[in-house]
Amino acid sequence: MKPRVDVLGAGLFAAAMAVAPLFLNAYQVDVLNSIGLYALLALGLNLILGEAGLFNMGHAAFYAMGAYTAAILNTRYQIPVLWTLPLSGAVAGAFALAVARPVVHLRGDYLLIVTIGVGEIVRIALVNDVFGITGGANGIFGIGRPRLFGLVIRRPEQFFYLIWGFVALTIFLFLRLKRSRFGRALNFLREDEVAAEGSGIDTAYYKLVVFGLGAAWAGMAGTLFAAKMTIISPESFSFWESVVLFMIVILGGAGSIPGVLLAAFLVVGLPELFREFAGARMLVFGLVMMVMMVVRPQGLWPARGRQKWLAVSGKALGP
């Protein structure tokens, strides 16, 4: 793939997205908003899971931390909801660091279950109204509408530009990160941890930082989610949400930003498209997920370069 084609494709996509709300109705724009939020979350998870190869199936926990931070600050202290963005990110990131510190060295699947556990513990804590500030199962309602440059954001197309603007910014930053020394160190660590350690990379440090960064992004996405819904409750941060994000990253092609975007469109968009099937819509969705993975095992739009880390450890078998 030539760089020029890359740029052209990205430009076309951006242009199409920029004018999309002009041609779509409120529902369709809102589907795009939902896709945008998942894209944002999945891009953060992609750092952890795709770039660094750390199995994280509890991303919803960090998403929840951000959403609740924003909601609590907004409803209790009347802080405008968008102002809480950096703080939500920081809280989610700090929480991730604290949690990841003792467990980040665990081998793949053990880390997977620990992150699932963290996700469940956070959800159960929210349901049980921990510290008396999360509102229990009711959640928190009456979150104020965000304001940007004096404009109150309330309609779907207004949220569209807020969310997708943030997605664009994220893509820009993460592309830079990927090409930086930090990004290369992550990939090295993912491909061969022992060799990385041997060439002087502090693997524990890199793993922690990337965990914190990915989680901070989930926290900020949480703020946008809280602002959009105006009510949040624990059921929005269930294990299922973590699973969906995990699927997006792997389906798209771990470590691939365009892949993650494409998969966000499919995983969030297809169930909407399948509304025609009524009760059978999730059945069709499950089947499509399976088939897509079987047809494109490397992901729909795999990252360039070698991806040895993903290979089966049992080595090659006959077909």
Partner 1 sequence: MKQKLLAAAAALGLAVSVTAGQAADTVKIGLMAPLTGSWASEGQGMKKIVELLAEQQNAKGGVSGKKIEVVTEDDGGDPRTASLAAQRLTTQGVAAVVGTYGSSVTEASQTIYDEAGIPQIANGSTAIRLTEKGFKRFFRTAPRDDEQGRMAAQTIGKLGFKKVAILHDSTSYAKGLADESNALLKKKGTEVVFFDALTPGERDYTTILTKLKGANPDVVLFTGYFPEAGLLLRQKKDMNWKVPFIGGDATNNADLVKIAGQEAAEGYYFLSPPQPQDLDTADAKNFLTDYQKKYNELPPSIWAVLAGDGFRVMVAGIAGAKSTDGDKIAGYLHKDLKNFSGLSGPISFDAKGDREGEVYRVYKVDGAGKFVLQKL
Partner 2 sequence: MEEFFQQLTNGLAVGGIYALIALGYTMVYGVLKLINFAHGDLFTYGAYLGLTLLTSLALTDRLGFAMGVLVLALMVMGLVAVLGAILERAAYRPLRQSPRLSAVVSALGASIFLQNTLMLIYGPRFQVYPDNILPAATLNIFGLYLPLMRVLIVLVSVLMMVGLYLFIQKTKIGTAIRAAAIDQDAARLMGIDVNRVIMLVFLVGPALGGAAGLMVGLYYGQINFTMGWIYGMKAFTAAILGGIGNIPGAMVGGLLLGVIEALGAAYISIAWKDAIAFCVLILILIVRPTGLLGERVADKV
| 310 lines the binding site for partner 2 (CB under 8 A) | yes
Cβ proximity to partner 2: between 87 and 125 the closer is: 125
Angle at 223 between CA 207 and CA 275, to 5 degrees: 100
Q: How many chain residues bind partner 1 (CB under 8 A)?
A: 50
CA dihedral 210, 213, 217, 220 (to 10 degrees): 160
- H-run or E-run covering 232: strand 231-232
Task: Name the helix (H) or strand (E) containing 140.
Answer: strand 140-141
Residue from 4, 107, 275, 304 in contact with partner 1 (CB under 8 A): 275
Q: Which C-beta is closer to partner 1: that of 54 or that of 254?
A: 254
Q: Is 14 in the site for partner 1 (CB under 8 A)?
A: no
User: 129 in the Ramachandran plot: left (φ > 0), alpha (ψ -120 to 50) or beta?
Assistant: left
135 binds partner 2 (CB under 8 A): no
**Residue 141 three-state SS:** strand
- Per-position x/- string for 236-265, each x denoting binding to partner 2 as judged by CB under 8 A, each - no binding: ---x---x--xx--xx--x-----------
User: Is 171 a residue that touches partner 1 (CB under 8 A)?
Assistant: no
Q: Which does 19 bind (CB under 5 to 8 A by kind): partner 1, partner 2, none?
A: none
As measured in angstroms, the least distance from the Cβ of 101 to partner 2 is 10
In order, the DSSP letters of 235-303 are GGG-HHHHHHHHHHHHHH-TT-HHHHHHHHHHHHHHHHHGGGGGGGHHHHHHHHHHHHHHH-TT-SSPP
| DSSP bridge pairs for 232 | 140
Q: Which of residues 200-219 bind partner 1 (CB under 8 A)?
A: none
Is 273 a residue that touches partner 1 (CB under 8 A)? yes
Q: What angle do CA 126, 37, 167 make, to 5 degrees?
A: 135
139 binds partner 1 (CB under 8 A): yes
Question: Does residue 47 contact residue 202 with C-beta atoms inside 8 Å?
Answer: no
Is there binding between residue 294 and partner 1 (CB under 8 A)? no
Strands, E assignment, 149-225? 151-152
Q: Which does 278 bind (CB under 5 to 8 A by kind): partner 2, partner 1, none?
A: partner 1
Q: Tell me which residue of 222, 224, 214 sits closest to 174, measured CA to CA.
A: 214
Region of 256 (left: φ > 0; alpha: ψ -120 to 50; beta: rest) is beta
Stretch that binds partner 2, among 19-27, 32-40, 220-228, 309-317 (CB under 8 A): 309-317
State which of positions 136-165 bind partner 2 (CB under 8 A): none
Q: Binding mask 239-258 vs partner 1 (x if CB under 8 A, - otherwise)?
A: -------------------x
- Look at the chain and count its residues: 319
* Binding residues for partner 1 (CB under 8 A): 1, 5, 9, 13, 16-17, 20, 23-28, 30-32, 34, 127-128, 136-139, 141-142, 154-156, 229-231, 233, 235-236, 258, 262, 265-266, 269-273, 275, 278-279, 281-282, 300-301
* Binding residues for partner 2 (CB under 8 A): 53, 55, 102-103, 105-110, 112-114, 116-118, 120-121, 124-125, 127-128, 192-194, 239, 243, 246-247, 250-251, 254, 279-280, 282-283, 285-294, 297-299, 307, 309-319
